[in-house]
Amino acid sequence: MPAVFAASSHGWRRENRFMPLNHVSAARRALEQDIMSTPSFLPFALPDIGEEEIAEVVDALRSGWVTTGPKTRQFEADFAAFIGGGVEAIAVNSATAGLHLALEAVGVGPGDEVIVPSYTFTATAEVVRYLGADPVFVDVDAATLNISPDAVRAAITPRTRAIVPVHFAGLACEMDEILEVARTHGLKVVEDAAHALPATYKGQKVGTLASDVTVFSFYANKTMTTGEGGMVVSRHADLIARCKVMRLHGISRDAFDRYVSKTPAWFYEVVAPGFKYNMPDTAAAMGIHQLRRLEGFARRREDMATRYDRELAGLPLHLPARPAQAGDRHAWHLYPVRLLPESGIGRDDFIVRMAEAGIGCSVHFIPLHRHPVWRDAYGLTPAQFPVADAAFAAEVTLPLYTRMTDEDQTRVIATVRTLLSA
């Protein structure tokens, strides 16, 4: 039997048992498969991959160098140049890996606490546990669903080591306040920017602010993709150096340098118990061209979000927040709406009705305080997170991605209007 770790009121225990089966009925799964196989079904998200990406991946395969090598180095250099502000960039195999590396690099360890929002994906919190520290969950702002600076202040204890703000949906958090809290209390700030490429905050790109490290995601549904992958960026040379070492087994020398050297270069030392988090060249090859297309992607997402705003106005919906400062950029990874009480339809029923009309939607997020692993380990209750819990009950994310046509968006808008005007 596989070993699993379970949360209890006394911490974490190791159990030997099988994980429970998915309780979704066979009939439900069959219905979902039937919906997804319908020719006219509009999925919630699709990557936008062109011939340039495909050709670059083929070139990597033909080169004989498919793990971390020249294309990864090019992608890192290109990405650092795109972000600007004097940052260095380290490519990794996921944003989760990047967050783990970042928190390790800033010194998070056993006994520490790291403040995270409850309204996020579990990766934000799980990496804290990887290091033997405890995530401390806080509520979010009602308008933006970003972490609440006031909630952060209230959660600080002598054990607090770091804050992880999450730029929800692609809208930058209120970073000035968060950074001021961190300075006052001597805390590290690691930005979870999985949604936030290429968002800006007060005229600066996310990734160039005064935080210690920022981590981006290139998962399949993000604003650009490498299939799986992420990027760690920082201006701090010591943190970048630590991430480089820990990214590949704690080895003191880069494998690419050793293997392409024309003189004997086999010797290396393992200087730390590292991880296996490097990005392969096959993924970086995609990233090179996705990055070149990112500005076009961002403009298209902005246009689609603006159209949604315009044509869904007046319906019983809470539309997503926009940047507080004129001229700032929302990355529009997601378009999350919240049904108002007068909508006359519950969130779950709304999603089912959209699926029946051939349109995929999603929910962002099931708050972490509702998941058994965090709820049971830390005694969390919905009453502790009133904003996040109310948002979850009403939130539905509409499709928004660059492969959608104007006609696809017209169909989404018309269906939403029909459901909320009945």
Strands 230-234, 3-8: pairing kind: unpaired
Active site residue 222: yes
Catalytic residue among 71, 188, 205, 222: 222
Q: How many residues does the chain have?
A: 422
Scan for tokens 């520490």, then name that residue.
112
Residues 6 or more apart from 297 whose CB is under 8 A from it? 48, 223, 224, 402
Report the distance separating Cα 53 and Cα 284, nearest Å. 10
Enumerate the active-site residues: 222
